[in-house]
Amino acid sequence: MKRTLKVYVSAPRGFCAGVDRAIDVVEKCLELFPPPIYVRHEIVHNRFVVERLRRKGVVFVENLDDVPDGAVLIFSAHGVSRAVREEAKSRPLRLIDATCPLVTKVHLEVHRLAKEGYDIILIGHAGHVEVEGTMGQLPPGGITLVQKPADVERLEVAHPEKIAYVTQTTLSIDETSEVVAALKKRFPAITGPHKNDICYATQNRQNAVKALLGKIDLLLVIGSQNSSNSNRLVEVARAAGVSAYLFDHPDEMKAEWFENVESVGLTAGASAPEDIVEATKAELAERFDARFEEFRYTEESIEFNLPKELAHISSPES
Ligand code: SF4
């Protein structure tokens, strides 16, 4: 007889408006232009999304040297540095920008702050492509990256009386608050966004998980290893002492994760497709007498328009 397992399916979960839009952009380009279509970096950080698009004729590149002249080139949802944008513009390419509007908002803020003479701090994770894009809005040295409260102690700032911070969009709400508190303590004059730049989708998925934690022994997070917001969901659970695992596909779920577990939370990062959530539910139902219940924290209704480069094109090119 199968063991009973209560499964709270967290909501909101999965695709956010920025990911939906970025995938729509690529799909639209596949309708309009003959393949291959080039995308700088993975369009969103999800293995299945990337593989599905690759099969349809999308080529993902890190380096613009790998894009031939005359090609269609899409910038991923994470955004690009000025240098990448300028290099792409200097080439005979058809450029389409799928940068999430919420990332673009941070870029615009960086330019405004620089123009007004602020020393700028970015709270984010070194090496993440969004951070590279935001840091790269200004010449080298124009933005200082801070990852954790301890980094704040080591900061050297030319104008502590005129300093501002921005943040990566997919951080942990709690850890970011700690870094902001450390910045405010050391630089009382610091200014920043109203709360932070962590996007609505990251916040809603984290808040839903937090609200669930009292009910569950284990959190299952669907997402790829390079997905920042998915990793943060795992961390939110672990910080509260609840076991949590991140996986791309239900095949990866290990039997030992479920030892002594009666109640599970199931969520998905902002770039994880809903069909993988359904496949995970099916796998849980196969292994257990699974009792599913939706746990909704809030509704989401945000949608973004397609980029202007696509707005005027309606029929396939010959
Ligand atoms: S996670 Fe947030 S910032 Fe990133 S694509 Fe989605 S809405 Fe945009």
Q: What is the CATH number of the domain that holds 279?
A: 3.40.1010.20
Query: Ligand 1: does its nearest atom lie under 6 Å from the Cβ of 84?
Result: no
d(CA 80, CA 107): 10
Single out the residue in 100, 135, 152 at which a domain terminates.
Answer: 100
Tokens of 256: 């030992």
Query: Ligand 1: does its nearest atom lie under 6 Å from the Cβ of 98?
Result: no
d(CA 243, CA 239): 9
Give how many domains the chain has, as a whole number. Answer: 3
Range of the domain at 27: 17-100
Q: Is residue 292 part of a domain?
A: yes
Q: What pLDDT, on a 0 to 100 scale, did the predictor assign at position 249? A: 98
- Sign of the torsion angle spanned by Cα atoms 179, 185, 187, 192: positive
Q: What pLDDT, on a 0 to 100 scale, did the predictor assign at position 317? A: 47
Domain identity same for 208 and 285: yes
310-to-4, 166, 288 alpha-carbon distances in Å: 50, 29, 47
Query: Ligand 1: does its nearest atom lie under 6 Å from the Cβ of 129?
Result: no
SS3 140: coil
Domain identity same for 206 and 285: yes
Domain identity same for 178 and 153: yes
Single out the residue in 84, 100, 116 at which a domain terminates.
Answer: 100
Q: Is residue 163 part of a domain?
A: yes
Query: Ligand 1: does its nearest atom lie under 6 Å from the Cβ of 228?
Result: no
Per-residue pLDDT of the chain (318 residues; tens, 9 = 90+): 999 999 999 999 999 999 999 999 999 999 999 999 999 999 999 999 999 999 999 999 999 999 999 999 999 999 999 999 999 999 999 999 999 999 999 999 999 999 999 999 999 999 999 999 999 999 999 999 999 999 999 999 999 999 999 999 999 999 999 999 999 999 999 999 988 899 999 999 999 999 999 999 999 999 999 999 999 999 999 999 999 999 999 999 999 999 999 999 999 999 999 999 999 999 999 999 999 999 999 999 999 999 999 977 754 544
- Sign of the torsion angle spanned by Cα atoms 239, 215, 300, 20: positive
Query: Ligand 1: does its nearest atom lie under 6 Å from the Cβ of 19?
Result: yes
d(CA 55, CA 263): 38
Q: Is residue 115 part of a domain?
A: yes
Does 256 qualify as catalytic in the annotation?
A: no
Single out the residue in 58, 81, 100 at which a domain terminates.
Answer: 100
Say if CB 134 and CB 103 are below 8 A apart.
yes
Say if CB 70 and CB 91 are below 8 A apart.
no
Query: Ligand 1: does its nearest atom lie under 6 Å from the Cβ of 229?
Result: yes
Q: What pLDDT, on a 0 to 100 scale, did the predictor assign at position 314? A: 56
Q: Is residue 168 part of a domain?
A: yes
From 130, 161, 274, 317, the catalytic residue: 130
| 22 Cα nearest atom in ligand 1 | 5
Ligand 1, pocket-test mutation among 78, 170, 203, most atoms within 8 A of CB: 170
| 21 Cα nearest atom in ligand 1 | 5
- Sign of the torsion angle spanned by Cα atoms 229, 38, 81, 312: negative
Quick one: how many helices (H) and strands (E) in the chain?
11, 12
Domain identity same for 69 and 120: no
Q: What is the CATH number of the domain that holds 27?
A: 3.40.50.11270
Domain identity same for 149 and 92: no
d(CA 303, CA 296): 19
Tokens of 7: 């499964």
d(CA 141, CA 179): 20
d(CA 132, CA 103): 12
DSSP 74: E
SS3 77: coil
Alpha helix locations (H) across the chain? 17-32, 47-55, 82-89, 101-115, 129-135, 149-153, 173-186, 200-212, 228-239, 274-287, 308-311
Ligand 1, pocket-test mutation among 199, 206, 267, most atoms within 8 A of CB: 199
Question: What is the gyration radius of the CA atoms in the chain, in angstroms?
Answer: 21
User: By C-alpha distance, which of 269, 231, 307, 224 is closest to 50?
Assistant: 224
Q: Whose CA is nearest to atom 2 of ligand 1?
A: 199
Q: Read off the pTM.
A: 0.96
| 169 Cα nearest atom in ligand 1 | 3
Q: Is residue 144 part of a domain?
A: yes
Q: Whose CA is nearest to atom 6 of ligand 1?
A: 18
Q: Is residue 87 part of a domain?
A: yes
What separation in Å is there between the alpha carbon of 47 and the centre of ligand 1? 17
Go through 148-176 and write b for each residue having 16 or more CB atoms within 10 A of its CB, e for each that does not: ebebbeebeeeeeebbbbbbbbbbbbebb
Say if CB 102 and CB 78 are below 8 A apart.
no
What are the backbone dihedrals phi and psi of residue 223, each rounded to the nearest 5 degrees, phi first? 170, 165
